[in-house]
Amino acid sequence: MPEPLPNFSNSVKFKYVKLGYQYLVNNFLTFLIVPVMAALIIQVLKLGPEEILSIWNSLHFDVLQLLCSSFLIIFIATVYFMSKPRSIYLVDYSCYKAPVTCRVPFSTFMEHSRLILKDNPKSVEFQMRILERSGLGEETCLPPAIHYIPPTPNMETARNEAEVVIFSAIDDLMKRTGLKPKDIDILIVNCSLFSPTPSLSAMVVNKYKLRSNIKSYNLSGMGCSAGLISIDLARDLLQVWPNSCALVVSTEIITPNYYQGSERAMLLPNCLFRMGGAAILLSNKRKDRRRAKYRLMHVVRTHKGADDKAFRCVFQQEDPQGKVGINLSKDLMVIAGEALKSNITTIGPLVLPASEQLLFLFTLIGRKIFNPKWKAYIPDFKQAFEHFCIHAGGRAVIDELQKNLQLSAEHVEASRMTLHKFGNTSSSSLWYELSYIEAKGRMRKGDRIWQIAFGSGFKCNSAVWKCNRTIKTPTDGPWEDCIDRYPVFIPEIVKL
């Protein structure tokens, strides 16, 4: 009986074959230009001094031609630099850290649920099952008004929460950067579900006595991806207004949006959403280039709102008893997957190396021409980014993106640990994740970061940053007293 053939996949190191392919394709121009330049240099060296001098003398330069050529070169260079987009720098950012008095351990959360929903034990049991599988830890925080039995949400307590979260983050940012209120040219505040009058942005202007000519914006109703929408808006404004600073504040106010009914689809946000907020300072000033942490490379926004299912998958409504809450559809993960596909189709050509783009193209052509059943090639985004900040919307969101993008446990570590420590802080969660990476001392000059966020509507937004300098391990921030304990093991189910 003939000996069985060796397992090809084991005998050949495909990993090294792929690395060789990537190196060859990504450096194709270098491999092409270097031999040509070397051949030219060798030919010149073969010529004697007299031959080189005779070739030089044979060239006739006219003064008018020289002037015209110089003018053309200067004109082209001027047009190029004038039309080139301004570089946008992230000088620094700050994340709000709630006091320990706001912490909600599992036992406290479930005790409150049993007392509030004492007439509906099935809803209590449903919340317990969700909490067991949520990926949240024992140190997540809810605002003081939610700690009462029953909760006492009203306009005053909601404003109090907004003031504490937003002002604390801005104060810390000003302390870190030396920013003064008069230096702020653009102000953008995003909060999806709490939109009072005067607006939250007006509240900030009043608190810090900002200039009367400040360009202020207040974004609401745009879900957990609103933080990157704010970054995109700030980028566009900074392209128009030179030598300016933009302050971006991302938060979600929990107090007025804590659902007190018994509809299961509307109870889910109670189990996941927690207090949080972040303040970010952006600048297009050249003098900020040296001290800035990151440079903004790309922002890509995808909106699936034209589809009815996508539009209604995260929907604020009243239940049959007239109690307002957020209804999360069962189709949410499928819709999020479709939005992600559209987003990465756009962002892929901007960030992926040529080797990955060619593999994707060849696979696509093969499926169209030869066999539609060929497995679709998923580009290796690990070739384009060193760090991933996936919106900590829930365990299922992180699991799905890790699977679809073929990421390692380390790549999604920041997202999982942020969800465990702080819960779903909505649009600000991406900044807690970035802070985690910095606190671990992993951020190096030149590293590329991909922030991915999902939001109601339905939207999937991406931002790409490049580290401007090696970030020293911070001694403060939201992780200062616990980073040594992380990462922690998160079981599939935590028995309550």
Structure tokens at 418: 């942020």
147 is catalytic: no
Structure tokens at 17: 């074959």
- Name the active-site residue from 112, 391, 461, 467: 391
Sheet hosting strand 459-467, strand order edge to edge = 215-219, 186-190, 245-251, 277-283, 89-95, 294-303, 459-467, 448-455, 387-390
270 is catalytic: no
- 3-state SS, residue 230: helix
Strand partners of residue 325: 317
Say how far apart CA 295 and CA 279 lie, in whole Å.
17
Listed in sequence order, the residues at least 6 apart from 354 whose beta carbon sits closer than 8 Å to its beta carbon are 25, 26, 28
298 is catalytic: no
60 is catalytic: no
b vs e for 11-41, b when ≥16 Cβ sit within 10 Å of the residue's Cβ? eeeeeeeeeeebeebeeeeeeeeeeeeeeee
- Name the active-site residue from 102, 420, 467, 468: 420
Distances (CA, A) of 326 to 254, 294, 322, 470: 12, 35, 13, 41
420 is catalytic: yes
Assess contact for 392 and 415: CB atoms under 8 A.
Answer: yes
Structure tokens at 468: 């401007």
- Name the active-site residue from 95, 191, 224, 313: 224
- Name the active-site residue from 387, 460, 461, 467: 387
Say how far apart CA 314 and CA 327 lie, in whole Å.
6
**Ramachandran angles phi, psi of 252, nearest 5°:** -140, 125
Assess contact for 454 and 222: CB atoms under 8 A.
Answer: no
Question: HEC states along 24-71?
Answer: HHHCHHHHHHHHHHHHHHHHHHHCCHHHHHHHHHHCCCCHHHHHHHHH
Q: Which of 19-23's residues contact partners 24+ apart within 8 Å by CB, and which partners?
A: 21/355, 22/353, 22/355, 22/356, 22/383
Assess contact for 229 and 250: CB atoms under 8 A.
Answer: no
- Name the active-site residue from 424, 460, 467, 468: 424
**Ramachandran angles phi, psi of 287, nearest 5°:** -70, -20
Nearest to 490 by CA among 421, 400, 402: 421
- Supply angle C-alpha 381, 33, 21, rounded to 5: 35
391 is catalytic: yes
Residues labelled catalytic: 224, 303, 387, 391, 420, 424
